[in-house]
Amino acid sequence: MRSSSPIALIVKYVILGIVDAVAVWAGVGLVMAANYGLLAMLAIGAGALNVLVLSKRAYPFRYLAPGLAFLFGMVVYPILYTAYVSLTNLQTGNLLSKDQVIQLFEDRYAAAPDQETFTYRAFLDDHESLVVLLIDEITDREWITSEGDPDLVVVDRSDPQFEIDEFGALVGISGLSEVTGLQRYQILSRLETLAFPYGEEYLRLSGLNAFKTFIRRYAFDWETDLLTDLTTGMVYTPIDGTFTADDGTTLEPGYQVWVGGRNFGSLLSNAAMRKDFARVFVWTIVWSLMSVLLSFSVGLGLALLLNDRKLRLRVIYRTLLIVPYVMPVFISALVWRGMFNAQFGIVNRIFQSLFGTTFRWLDDPMLARGVLIFINVWLSFPYMMLISLGALQSIPDQLYEAARVDGAGMFRRFWRVTLPLLMISLAPLLIGSFAFAFNNFTLIYLVTAGRPAVLGAATPAGATDILISWTYRIAFQGGSGNQLGLASAVSILIFAIIATISAIGFRLTKRLEEVYK
């Protein structure tokens, strides 16, 4: 700050003042909306920014602040929010807050016992505000009202703003343009939201050409926390975020409530769901292990060949072999899906021409799993080849010469020298590859979408679903609706599993380093 010029300091403080002003403005809005969680985050963020700019001691943290902000926004906050959702009943029918649901019920209307009908004429002023002229079909009495002021005002035809022709008909209102014909469809959504008080009833749009009298359907008592159906007298009590009557009748929608560990308990206590989870979990482990082991084996084998300095044109081979790695995954996945198509795919054409038979690659569970592993190996082996090639070139030739002197053959040199030294540097990368395969949603979804289906499954768990795709299908493709709370609980379990496997893997990697030392 000492080296900053006065102009730079002024610019800095002006920008900081603008940011603080915006933060205060946003904070007032959050207070009015009673959103205290975001308000606390805004206050912490604004306070931290001021400390970083104004405090000399916080100067070193200015370089860390952007990275920490992105870390919190892109990693920490999603994890915390997912953990929060896993402890709620967030699902189809329970997506809104309690206040929002109550407002929805209180905005519902039922036809009045002796329903009256009013024709209407709609007008727009210079500011596009809606004005409605209502006419009683029986008495021909007229009222005028607007969406900004819903009170009904009796039309006084002596008022000069009302234009009356020689036959006594009201032909217009000064300063307003009438909406007629098909133009009414353009303002239909606005007309449908209007509710004009009419004694103890309300006038609301019924059809396109008339308003009718309605009564409020529900009333909520904040003291007793009960919702009453004013047309039947039935009383509803909120139970687990759903208004429920004594006879078990429920109302939709419900609202979000805290359910604690119920979603986790469902995975453990529900036998059918537990069976689905176990089957998907086992396949996820097999899928991840086979993908990593096979791709590493192919990549390492090719790296050993390309590491031979006597191999001619190895630069060309290396370039060709990394083509699958540089292609976008979604393009490769869709291409392979088309190639394995049972009716038109080139793979079945080859089998038909050579062996006289075809296979339903993506419809049979075992074949579909094999296809997925094959495609993932195809996409992953270039990466394994590159990292293995780099690690091989870092191994000193003297170690191989010493092994030859001791009489070690080619395979013994590989198992005793090459592989142990490779694992020291590659083990962390293999752990990362395992975690990536464990959560490889893109390939699963694009090739099979988790299918073929499994008969009798309690959840949308297909034969090729891994945990992450199963979670997605629970969240957005469930037969009983979107179960976001349950899906979040599964996500937390996935996070715990990956963290545990990674911790064990890195501990074993550390032992390898100690052995090497």
**How do the domains of the chain map onto residue ranges?**
6-86, 109-216, 266-516
Confidence of residue 512 (pLDDT cuts 50, 70, 90): low
Confidence of residue 36 (pLDDT cuts 50, 70, 90): confident
Distance, CA of 398 to CA of 465 (rounded, Å): 48
Which two three-digit tokens encode residue 439?
């959560």
Angular region, 168: left φ>0, alpha ψ -120 to 50, beta rest: left
Of the options 3.30.2020.30, 1.10.3720.10, 2.40.110.10, 3.40.50.1100, the CATH number for the domain spanning 266-516: 1.10.3720.10
Write down the pLDDT at residue 178: 92
Buried b (16+ CB within 10 A) or exposed e, 10-35: eeeeeebeeeeeebeeeeeebeeeee
Which residues, other chains included, contact 483 with Cβ-Cβ below 8 Å and sequence gap of 6+? 91, 92, 474, 475
pLDDT surpasses 50 at 29: yes
For the stretch 336-376, pLDDT in tens is 999 999 998 999 999 999 999 999 999 999 999 999 999 99
**Three-state SS at 132:** strand
**Three-state SS at 32:** helix
- Continuous segment of H or E residues that includes residue 172: strand 170-173
Write down the pLDDT at residue 478: 75
Are 17 and 54 in contact by the 8 Å Cβ rule? The answer is no
Which two three-digit tokens encode residue 239?
């139970």
Q: Which of 470, 471, 439 is nearest to 85 (CA)?
A: 471
Q: Which residue has the higher pLDDT, 245 or 502?
A: 245
Burial class (CB in 10 A: 0-12, 13-18, 19+), 401: exposed
Which two three-digit tokens encode residue 292?
């990593």
For the stretch 225-257, pLDDT in tens is 999 999 999 999 999 999 999 999 999 999 999
Task: Quickly count: other Cβ atoms within 10 Å of residue 461's Cβ.
Answer: 23
Of the options 3.40.190.10, 2.40.430.10, 3.40.50.880, 2.60.40.1180, the CATH number for the domain spanning 109-216: 2.40.430.10
Write down the pLDDT at residue 1: 42
Average pLDDT on 382-403 reads 90
Cis peptide before 253 (omega within 30 of 0): yes
Average pLDDT on 97-123 reads 93
Quick one: DSSP state of residue 60? T
Confidence of residue 516 (pLDDT cuts 50, 70, 90): low
Which residues, other chains included, contact 336 with Cβ-Cβ below 8 Å and sequence gap of 6+? 371, 375, 378, 447
For the stretch 53-89, pLDDT in tens is 888 888 888 888 888 888 888 889 899 999 999 999 9
Write down the pLDDT at residue 184: 85
Domains 6-86 and 109-216 share a fold: no
Write down the pLDDT at residue 99: 92
Mean pLDDT, all residues of the chain: 90
pLDDT surpasses 60 at 139: yes
Write down the pLDDT at residue 517: 53
pLDDT surpasses 90 at 166: no
CATH 1.20.58 fits 6-86, yes or no: yes
pLDDT surpasses 50 at 5: yes
pLDDT surpasses 80 at 278: yes
What percent of the chain has a predicted confidence (pLDDT) above 90? 55
Which two three-digit tokens encode residue 262?
């119920």
Write down the pLDDT at residue 33: 83
Distance, CA of 251 to CA of 245 (rounded, Å): 9
For the stretch 92-102, pLDDT in tens is 999 999 999 99
pLDDT surpasses 80 at 480: no
Write down the pLDDT at residue 260: 92
